[in-house]
A and B are shown apart, each in its own frame.
Chain A
Amino acid sequence: MNEFLIKGATLSNGSKKDILVSDGLITKVAESIESKAQVIEAKGLIALSGFVDLHTHLRQPGFEQSETVLTGSRAAAKGGYTAVNAMANTMPVADSAAVVEQVYRLGVEAGYVEVKPIGAVSLALRGENLAELASMHRSLANVSVFSDDGNCVSDPLLMRRALEYVKSFDGVIAQHAQEPRLTVGAQMNEGATATKLGLAGWPSVAESSIVARDALLAEVTGSKLHVCHVSTKETVDVVRWAKSRGISITAEVTPHHLLLTEDMVNDYNTVYKVNPPLRTIEDVLALREALADGTIDIVATDHAPHPKQSKDCDWASAANGMVGLETAASVVIETMVKTGLIDWTRFEQVMSIQPALIAQMPNQGRGISEGAPANITLIDPSVERLVNEDTESLSANNPYLGIKLTGLVQHVLFTGKLTVLDNKVQEF
């Protein structure tokens, strides 16, 4: 097994350390370490616990022209991730032990990040009958988070039953909160811009009302609820209230909802079409504040690759979603760290430690500490870069092209294996 000596890195708490990695573990963290191991010069770099994405669309099986487990894993590694949770809306849907084990195996074969499948809540994402949740949990993939993402589990009875059913193995239901009757034909955030553009509005209350209902169901059942991609200030208020009641609720925000706003839709540029939609600057500021104060627990990318033809069309015909794995850390630095809202300790919490806890991934999010698995991301916080078309993803629906972002992932170790060196994904 390779040995690496990371020299002179800055940890999230500001201290400068050498880090010795051997046999896949962090074996020593100290002021100055002497070793014959291969040296990774880390002066000026921040060493963080490898990032964990709780919300990734890897598209395999079924949509391999958008992304595969391999290409998505490479994109994740380049973005500083050592683990991703693969969403269930594949074809076939990840609603059985067979499909989740297939995705899990593809992840192991790719070998760039730990790929943990998310199982569907309902059979074929239809929102009618429960999928075989326990079988998926007991499978090789050890699924612990379930979501119909893309669809909302809108039937309150099905949602209650799902929350109850996963209690026996401490599972989590991750809800895509979107009341379908309040979003019939919805195309963009409801408001003045939608009115001007003649696009059917997507009201905030379609999200916040479901989150309020689910929080009360989680309270009644004593189960764990996770809220996917919170996008509005009203939902933030509901989550804050639910946490104050002691309800087991966690929440994520995407990088794009921390940076982009609805006015970007003005030219009907379909790269900005996403579900939930881009909201107002007031929502963006509320989300940033909530991520800083802990109301929102984590950042999750909702990396949603699409082939060219799904975006090269009129607005209503275009697919929802944008890629995000390779830019997430920079967007969070830009919106949260540079603005002074959070420090590097909180950054490491929201990008790695908390998502690993929610996803129940014991080998992830363990920090830069002796004995922890060597999942390490080294990031240069001073680099300013114009986002260009270079990507490891198969898809190019990137909303940040031409935008200047701060911070660049330089090196990544995944269980002691160098997956990224000098911002280049390694071949093996």
Chain B
Amino acid sequence: MRHLLSTADLDKAEAIELLNLGSEMAAVNKRDVKKLPALSGRTVANLFFEDSTRTRISFEIAAKRLSADVVNFSAKGSSVSKGESLKDTVLTLEAMGVEAIVIRHWSSGAAKTIADSDWSKSVVVNAGDGTHEHPTQALLDALTIRDTILGSSSTGDLAGLRVLIVGDVLHSRVARSNAHLLRTLGAKVAFCGPATLLPSSIADLVDETYLNFDEALAGNFDVVMMLRIQQERMNSSFLPNETEYSNLYGLTMDRFNSLRSSTVIMHPGPMNRGLEIASDVADSKQSVITNQVANGVAMRMAVLYRLMAQEGVGK
């Protein structure tokens, strides 16, 4: 494993190895001194062409806890706003001696384009590319599911678990990455949402699809993962308005109360409280949303460690 571009590239053994490494990093994060010397003297660039404060901070903390030097590059107010191409941005960072590029880009495939190009020798970590994938989010979700349902000492897969992902699947890189990874780990994955927000051909991606949320919730899922719905979807004929979306696809208290008390509630954030998820549901004991955030740092440490310390650089 040279880069982390897509969870579809991970086989089951690699995925479990990463999760186990994530568990170890989570243990480090519970210590008083949350720091390992593993990447001392190494440089990681966070290259963010889209605003994402939480993901950028999560990667930054992860790299710093491994003692790496971190530089943050934001497209706004940079050479990119002056018309610099992705190629020249990457060439510039490489010339400065960066060894790992963590990239968030609005264009699907941008991380792979860099990894495959002759512009870069760096390790490339996809921190979200367009509407394609967000592999570290899926890894942290898988770790959270395993911790919550099987216990934090588990070192196994997710065989037999059923996961329902609800909302704007069409535009969701989180949904795609989770579908690949959770199924590789043996879970069954279902998508639910209005037909306008489900991709046209998803049969290869998931085990089941539902257009009706209540029918889906009757399906005894172990995990219900709510996706963020973007305001702009209301303005481009995907949906009529927020109220109708919330009525049809929101995880309201009524719907929440119909679930088993063991059902795990997840959300990749940032949440629209009261829209796709009721505030009380997000704050309930069954919600593991803050655990996801904590595991985000641990999993990103694991990924950087795996790619930079274990694999080495410059192959």
Contacts and interface: CB of A to CB of B under 8 A. Distances in A.
A198 B200 contact: no
Interface in B95-124: 105-110, 112-113, 116-117
A184 B105 CA distance: 19
A267 B5 CA distance: 11
Contacts of A285: none
A412 to B, nearest CB: 37
Contacts, number: 78
A187 B176 CA distance: 18
Nearest to B106: A316
A198 B108 contact: yes
A268 B109 contact: yes
Contacts of A196: 8, 176, 204-205
A191 B108 contact: no
A194 B131 CA distance: 10
For B85, B109, B236, the residue with the greatest tally of chain A CB atoms inside 10 Å of its CB is B109
Contact of B107 (A195, A201, A267, A316): A316
Which bucket holds chain A's interface residue count? 20 to 34
Interface centre among B106, B110, B199, B205 (most CB of A within 10 A): B199
Given A184-B236, A201-B199, 9 more contacts: A191-B201, A192-B203, A194-B201, A195-B199, A198-B129, A203-B200, A312-B87, A314-B86, A314-B109
A421 to B, nearest CB: 37
A313 B112 CA distance: 11
A382 interface: no
A191 B204 CA distance: 11
A244 interface: no
A17 to B, nearest CB: 52
B192 to A, nearest CB: 16
A316 B108 contact: yes
Interface in A183-223: 184, 187, 190-192, 194-201, 203
Contact of B109 (A195, A197, A203): A197
Interface residues of B, number: 29
Given A191-B200, A316-B130, A199 B108 contact: yes
B173 interface: yes
Contact of A309 (B85, B107, B131, B204): B85
A79 B110 CA distance: 35
Nearest to B117: A312
Nearest to B110: A314
A197 B131 CA distance: 8
Contacts of A270: 113
24 contacts: A190-B200, A195-B204, A196-B8, A197-B108, A197-B109, A198-B109, A198-B129, A198-B131, A198-B133, A199-B108, A199-B130, A201-B199, A201-B200, A267-B112, A268-B112, A309-B85, A309-B87, A313-B87, A314-B105, A314-B113, A315-B108, A316-B108, A316-B130, A317-B107
A187 B117 CA distance: 20
A313 B87 CA distance: 6
Contacts of A267: 112, 116
